[in-house]
């Protein structure tokens, strides 16, 4: 029985081994919402490949994973229009690979294959260079920074609060809670509002306009003396209607042929960030993203921010989550740099190792292992040039936040403010501050 993972490699193997393949100039695989595949082809001019035999072989190998016959632009009925449209909407499948009958890895025939993926969710995690932040950091401030963690409970929000405290000494800071399904930033900072980010998204989707009244507030859990204000936009009021609004979030992109691939949620958040910049003129905007492979987290990382702060603990789950996150960021980065005639993005990222051991020997070994695993991920998927594994300013090199028992207790932030301004968090802010400089370019 073929499983989901084997479907596309099987299509490649069967097609490339078929006598019909030499008569096909372009072949498109369309994978639908259930993971089933259809094929559309453009034959070589003057050829007549036996597509019926190819379809029969695919049905024999794939069973119910293969749907219908092979559509061709040479068909005499409406199927030619379907094939032409599929080829038009497809993307080049340049990294297509499969295993031959001997078990050896083969690279599919260059420039012959293309792919259309239809997905129910997670579109933002597959973005490459098609979505840029709301404004170019090289041309305009503020820097938009996403704080993200694959796993919850690793100190992501605490790191954000610390950086907001330190950033406020330079100028105004705006903080948005995008962890809409498990909001906590408003409660942590003791900000009480009648409305929040979720209200803005839902109302913008319905009316096309934004109303920031009763959406923002100043944190009462901390005191920022002699500094510019921190403005907080919580997720919203956690009442019975919160669920009703959450149930109406549209995180799906429109049809492939639409002029804009943005979902209504993405459009609303981009409009909200523009309004935040216009209203408060902040020096920094910090986004507290949803943990895990959530659509909102993907949207924040891939469609909104200039700088991504990836927070993780030194655990196997943390390493695996970091690897997958870096792989998605690297896909976007490589595509941007490969685009002919397009200026490379100035988007940046950095890694934070949280809950570092207190014992110096244990901490040294733990951090070395974290750096090695982080480097493996970045070298495999993110770096386009060789990077020194021990370069302390490289994206993979972690800023270490040691474990602080004070932060693990349920105490008011004012009682632990000294910890949030401590040496570990100062190093974090110093690195992040450098990445937010508008003129900085990725190496």
Q: Considering the domain boundaries, does residue 441 fall inside one?
A: no
| pTM summary value | 0.87
Q: Which among 350, 352, 348, 349 is positioned nearest to 312, based on CA atoms?
A: 352
Mean pLDDT to the nearest integer, 53-70: 94
Q: Considering the domain boundaries, does residue 210 fall inside one?
A: yes
Domain identity same for 106 and 137 = no
Domain identity same for 193 and 216 = yes
Tens of pLDDT along 347-368?
A: 899 999 999 999 999 999 999 9
- 224 versus 149: the higher-pLDDT residue is 149
Name the domain count of the chain.
2
Report the alpha-carbon distance of residue 227 to residue 172 in Å, rounded. Answer: 8
Which helix (H) or strand (E) is 44 found in, with range?
Answer: none
Torsion angle of C-alpha atoms 413, 229, 217, 236, degrees rounded to 10? -70
Mean pLDDT to the nearest integer, 149-162: 94
Q: Considering the domain boundaries, does residue 242 fall inside one?
A: yes
pLDDT of residue 227: 78
- Residue 107 sits in a domain of what CATH number? 3.30.300
Domain identity same for 97 and 143 = no
Domain identity same for 128 and 83 = no
Domain identity same for 221 and 316 = yes
Q: Name the domain boundary from 118, 149, 166.
A: 118
Would the pLDDT of 342 be above 60? no
Q: Considering the domain boundaries, does residue 443 fall inside one?
A: no
Domain identity same for 217 and 86 = no
Q: Considering the domain boundaries, does residue 442 fall inside one?
A: no
Q: Considering the domain boundaries, does residue 31 fall inside one?
A: yes
Domain identity same for 371 and 393 = yes
Domain identity same for 151 and 88 = no
pLDDT of residue 121: 83
Q: For the packed helices 51-62 and 4-16, what is the interaxial angle rounded to 10 degrees?
A: 150
Domain range for 154 is 124-435
Tens of pLDDT along 89-141?
A: 998 998 899 888 778 898 899 899 999 998 888 878 887 655 789 999 888 88
Q: Considering the domain boundaries, does residue 163 fall inside one?
A: yes
pLDDT of residue 259: 46
Encode burial over 95-124: b for 16+ CB neighbours within 10 A, e otherwise.
Answer: ebebeeeeeeeeebeeebbbbbbeeeeebb
pLDDT of residue 441: 47
Q: Name the domain boundary from 118, 148, 169.
A: 118
Domain identity same for 227 and 278 = yes
Q: Considering the domain boundaries, does residue 440 fall inside one?
A: no
Domain identity same for 32 and 149 = no
Domain identity same for 347 and 410 = yes
Domain identity same for 247 and 366 = yes
- Residue 132 sits in a domain of what CATH number? 3.40.50.300
Report the alpha-carbon distance of residue 96 to residue 207 in Å, rounded. Answer: 43
Q: Name the domain boundary from 83, 118, 153.
A: 118
């Amino acid at each position: 029985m073929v499983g989901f993972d084997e479907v596309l490699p099987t299509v490649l193997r069967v097609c490339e081994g078929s006598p019909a393949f030499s008569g096909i100039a372009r072949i498109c695989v369309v994978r639908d919402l259930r993971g089933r595949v259809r094929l559309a082809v453009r034959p070589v001019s003057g050829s007549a490949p036996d597509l019926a035999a190819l379809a029969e072989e695919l049905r024999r190998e794939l069973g119910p994973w293969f749907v219908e016959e092979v559509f061709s632009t040479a068909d005499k009925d409406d199927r030619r229009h379907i094939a032409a449209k599929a080829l038009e909407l497809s993307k080049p499948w340049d990294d297509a690979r499969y295993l031959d009958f001997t078990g050896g890895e083969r690279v599919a025939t260059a420039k012959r294959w293309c792919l259309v993926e239809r997905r129910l969710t997670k579109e933002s995690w597959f973005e490459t260079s098609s979505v840029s932040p709301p404004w170019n950091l090289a041309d305009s401030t503020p820097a938009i920074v996403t704080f993200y963690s694959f796993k919850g409970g690793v100190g992501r929000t605490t790191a954000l609060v610390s950086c907001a405290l330190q950033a406020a000494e330079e100028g105004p800071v705006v903080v948005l809670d995008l962890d809409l399904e498990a909001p906590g930033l408003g409660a942590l900072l003791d900000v009480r509002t009648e409305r929040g980010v979720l209200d803005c998204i839902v109302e913008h989707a319905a009316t096309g306009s934004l109303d920031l009244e009763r959406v923002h507030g100043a944190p009462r859990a901390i005191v920022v003396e002699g500094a510019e204000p921190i403005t907080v936009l919580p997720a919203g009021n956690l009442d019975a209607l919160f669920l009703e609004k959450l149930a109406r979030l549209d995180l799906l992109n429109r049809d492939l042929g639409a002029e804009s691939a943005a979902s209504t949620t993405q459009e609303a958040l981009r409009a909200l960030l523009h309004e935040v910049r216009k209203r408060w003129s902040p020096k920094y905007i910090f986004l507290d993203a949803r943990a895990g492979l959530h659509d909102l987290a993907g949207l924040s990382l891939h469609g909104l921010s200039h700088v991504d702060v990836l927070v993780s603990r030194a655990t196997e789950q943390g390493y695996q989550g970091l690897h997958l996150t870096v792989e998605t960021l690297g896909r976007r980065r490589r595509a941007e740099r490969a685009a002919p005639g397009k200026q490379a993005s100035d988007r940046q990222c950095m890694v934070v190792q949280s809950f570092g051991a207190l014992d110096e020997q244990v901490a040294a070994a733990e951090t070395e292992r974290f750096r090695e695993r982080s480097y493996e991920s970045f070298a495999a998927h993110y770096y386009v040039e060789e990077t020194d594994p021990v370069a302390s300013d490289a994206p993979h090199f972690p800023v270490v936040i040691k474990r602080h028992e004070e932060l693990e207790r349920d105490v008011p932030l004012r009682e632990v403010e000294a910890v949030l301004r401590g040496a570990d968090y100062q190093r974090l802010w110093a690195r992040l501050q450098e990445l937010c400089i508008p003129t900085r370019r990725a190496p």
